[in-house]
Amino acid sequence: MAFPDIQSFMRLLEQRGELLRVTTPVSRELEITEIADRMVKQGGPALLFENVTGSDYPVAIGLLGTKERVALTLGVDDLDGLAEKVRALIDLSGGGSKLGLLSNVTKLRDAMNLPPRRVRNAPVQEVVWRGDEVDLSKIPVLKCWPLDGGPFVTLPLVITKDPETGERNMGMYRVQVMSKNSTGMHWQRHKTGTKHLEKARKLGQRLEVAVAIGGDPALIYAATAPLPPVPGLDEFALAGYLRGQRYPVARGVTVDLDVPANAEFVLEGYVDPSEDWVMEGPFGDHTGFYTLPDLYPHFHVTAVTMRRNPVYPATIVGRPPMEDAYLIEASERLFLPAAQLIIPEIVDYHMPPAGVAHNLVFVSIKKSYPGQAYKVANGLFGLGQMMFAKVIVVLDEDVPVTDFGAVWREVTRKAVPGRDTLTTRGPIDVLDHSSRGWGYGGKLIIDATTKRPEEVGSAASSRPDQAGDVLSPEGFTPRAAHDLPTFDGVLAQRQTPDGYWLVALHKTRAGQARDLAAAFAAHPAAQGIRHLLICDDQTDVNDLQDVWWTILNNIDAERDVWVQGELLAWDGAQKIPEEGFVREWPPKIVMDQGVVDRVDRLWNVYGLPESLR
């Protein structure tokens, strides 16, 4: 099903009972975030805030807040249907017979839907602000978290054109409102927008930019998708394929760029590469930590166009699970066939929410020779944005990669620390705060596949279970917390039946985590333990998702994961200058308690279900 625009999608959600209207006045500063955060974490409905203080426009949020709603926007019954849709497009086989060729006609017709189509009358250009009329404060842009540097557009479709080739790009880069007519432009060093700006700088010209807000929800998804660099394939083309019809675009009123004709708002303007960059941030990011302030390009808004009665769509990011987890899952399904074309032994893969996309990848394979797990993992590191992956766990084909607990149980059964773990280095997401350098750090491969004789014989260990094909934690009984050893700074700890020892540490000195690991590994309580997970003092050791989320955010795998005795130690505690860590350590995102209390008081006034409070 193709939706003409986001408002038609909202109407369908409301008919299905998946969108609730809130008529009570709400603040765009923190209050909407607190309500929406509770809703998405419980799989609740999308929300339409009709009375936003200081703005004439309503705010819609959580529209893609479940995997079922994402599947609905992309025209499939479930997200696995995306893989089949792409597999059908790229498999143009059928032999040389007339019948074989005719079998491809439908697929080729789908492919012909890729190019966008130009329209003259665009709903998004019904109202136009130019020059002094431009006032971004009239648009209900949200301040999401207490330490945010200001209001941020969180669902922006940022459109640029290569100054040399004319090829379009659309990406979802956060946009911080700086004044009534300017914003920051968060183009990271790996992003296409940065490359376009650099080309404009060399040519001595401004780079035109358009920021669309809204449109067909399939286009919103497409802006987040990690598209391969295939000529003619851009985000408009992907949205056209997903919706089964060419995407409508219009020429901007002050920029020579195609913009989605069915968007709600479009900000038009330019970035001048000769200008000094502006300080942008902090921002409560999808990692669940704040991204600290840094210098980014300055976007000057020359015009704002909109519908006569627009809705402002938004999302929030922060501690997982969040709405972006379902967009990530859609991309997994969409690009699985392409990954299998390049690495055919891949059966499935998954990026769990605790890994906030790049930090953790589970991949199952059909294994037929020794070392194949490392071949697959290194192949994944070379695939597009998978280069940012921090930890890759490789599993046998019968292991369900979406079962978080099952995967980690398989790791304790089949991966011997040291023998079946390998660290390397490479590009890291620039939002990663723990890496050895900005955008550069350590990576970890865990081979949790069934071992072949060649892979076992090299193990140098006195433990008899390390010479076999499969480790067996059966019979291991975790010790109660009061029977575990004490150590300076340990606030809480527990062991799990599958061989993990979880520790919350209040760190006060250099080397404290390594000293802890040495003491615990040598203690009798370590017998049967495979992994020691050392977390910061804000981590709930009784919440496995919270533990892994903290660990994966706070490690550089080369520096912070090591073999200690017979176990693998993971140092997910905060790094400090005395240890040679010179970068500033960001805080975790926590909502202001006053806002939490206000939302608690007004929950029934908002008219929201008590069960989702």
Do both 521 and 451 map to the same domain?
A: no
Domain identity same for 355 and 309 = no
| Three state DSSP letters for 35-60 | HHHHHHHCCCCEEEECCECCCCCCEE
Boundary-marking domain end, from 284, 314, 344: 314
Q: Is the pLDDT of residue 460 over 50?
A: no
Please indicate, yes or no, whether residues 294 and 244 belong to a single structural domain of this protein.
Answer: yes
Same-domain status, 496 and 441: no
- State yes or no: pLDDT of 282 exceeds 60: yes
Omega before residue 228 within 30° of 0, cis: no
Residue 160 lies in a domain: yes
Question: Same structural domain for residues 528 and 423?
Answer: no
Containing H/E element for 606? helix 593-606
At 117-153, the pLDDT tens digits run: 899 899 999 999 999 999 999 999 999 999 999 999 9
Report which of residues 546 and 383 the model is more confident about.
Answer: 546
Are residues 507 and 397 located together in one domain of the fold? no
* 184, 258: one domain: yes
* 285 belongs to the catalytic site: yes
User: What pTM does this model have?
Assistant: 0.90
The C-alpha angle with vertex 325 and arms to 71 and 612, in degrees rounded to 5, equals: 85
CATH number at residue 143: 2.30.110.10
pLDDT digits (tens, 9 = 90+) for 486-506: 999 999 999 999 999 999 999
Name the residue among 142, 116, 4 with its Cα closest to residue 60.
Answer: 142
Please report whether residue 204 resides in a domain.
Answer: yes
Is residue 290 a part of any domain in this protein?
yes
Q: Based on the domain organization, do 175 and 269 belong to the same domain? A: yes
**Residues 117 and 260 occupy one common structural domain:** yes
Is 253 inside a domain boundary? yes
Instruction: List CB contacts of 397: < 8 A, sequence separation 6 or more.
Output: 347, 364, 365, 366, 367
Residues 353 and 305 grouped into a single domain: no
- Average per-residue pLDDT for the chain: 90
Do 275 and 395 have their domain in common? no
Q: Is residue 471 part of a domain?
A: no
Q: Of 293, 314, 335, which residue sits at a domain end?
A: 314
Question: Residues 221-237, buried b or exposed e (16+ Cβ, 10 A)?
Answer: bbbbbebeeeeeebbbb
How many domains is the chain partitioned into structurally? 3
Active-site choice (37, 148, 285, 498) = 285
Pick from 314, 344, 363: which residue ends a domain?
A: 314
Over the stretch 338-351, which tens digit does the pLDDT of each residue have? 899 899 999 999 99
Q: Are 349 and 249 members of one domain?
A: no
Is the residue at 182 inside a domain?
yes
The percentage of the chain sitting over the pLDDT mark of 70, rounded to a whole number, equals: 92
Say if CB 313 and CB 213 are below 8 A apart: yes
CATH number of residue 539's parent domain: 3.40.1670.10
User: What is residue 241's predicted lDDT score, i.e. its pLDDT?
Assistant: 81
Among 219-223, 408-412, 467-471, the range scoring the smallest mean pLDDT is 467-471
Q: Let me know if residue 589 belongs to a domain.
A: no
Assigned domain for 139 exists: yes
Q: Which residues pair with 503 in a beta bridge?
A: 493, 534
Q: What is the DSSP letter of 21?
A: E
- pLDDT surpasses 70 at 230: no
Q: Which residues, in sequence order, are CB contacts of 115 under 8 Å at separation 6+?
A: 232, 236, 237, 240, 246
Domain containing 395 equals 323-455
